[in-house]
Structure 1
């Protein structure tokens, strides 16, 4: 289990109302990847071992999907710009949060503009999580 993922979970918990779910296992993650023939981003897999999905910054914020607990990541979810992305969650605005089918990048798809904004694309999942309060407008007072 990733100590960085645990530290981020603690930080997020201290900054807002969170609803984490039971963690999954490496076995379940591996079976999900084999079934769907793609690799989840490394840090997302580390997070799923802490919480397999969940809700962040309730009541308005971000809902992360899991590989074992509902709502599940749907690899062919049509709520994405093209097939090179997978929807891993949804912001309260309805905009999907995506990972690339190959790579570590996490992005928010702006439905209204029909594009991914440069300032809403993150090099990896932990950078996204660390920026989440600002993304959902739940910054510290």
Structure 2
């Protein structure tokens, strides 16, 4: 069952553009991923994975999120990580990686052009990122 906060976000996204959500990951798949990689994913990101284990937003070009059970998978050794405090969980169409903290709930966008995390694109949690995608991608402009 989808939590009410996530349902509101998903309904909003579906009303804004074409999405392709993957099959949900199971609690066991998420736990196994965390254990085998010695990490703890953010709670709201895990809630998303239980709804959709990755997917694409605002097709044809927007953002792609990675999963723990369906390809593309999260690669904790991804070369796009700015440092060991982050995991790459997706990418914008521009190639800028979407990051989550290894410890904590924050989600951030790494700007490949400047080689840094844009302070204006740091979100308190995964749902905050999802709620901002329409504006982040400039779709309404």
Quickly name the TM-score band, shorter chain normalised. over 0.9
2:80 is aligned with 1:79: yes
- CA distance in 2 between counterparts of 1:17 and 1:9 reads 12
**Runs of 4+ residues over 6 Å off in structure 1:** none
DSSP-derived class of the 1:88 partner: strand
Cα contact 1:107–1:116 (8 A) shared by 2:
yes
CA RMSD of aligned residues (A): 1.0
The answer to whether structure 1 residue 92 and structure 2 residue 85 are counterparts is: no
1:117 Cα offset (Å): 1.0
Unaligned 5+ segments in structure 1 are none
Q: Normalising to structure 2: TM-score of the pair? A: 0.96
Shift of 1:83: 1.2
In 1, the alpha carbon distance for the partners of 2:27 and 2:5 equals 17
2:105 alignment partner in structure 1? 104
- d(CA) in 2 for partners of 1:5, 1:76: 29
Q: How many positions carry a matched residue from both structures?
A: 140
**Which structure 2 segments of 5+ residues have no match?**
none
Partner residue in 1 for 2:116: 115
Supply the distance in 2 between the matched residues of 1:2 and 1:45 (Cα, whole angstroms): 12
1:9-60 CA-to-partner distances (Å, cap 9, x unmatched) read 1110111010011111111100100000110000000001111100001111
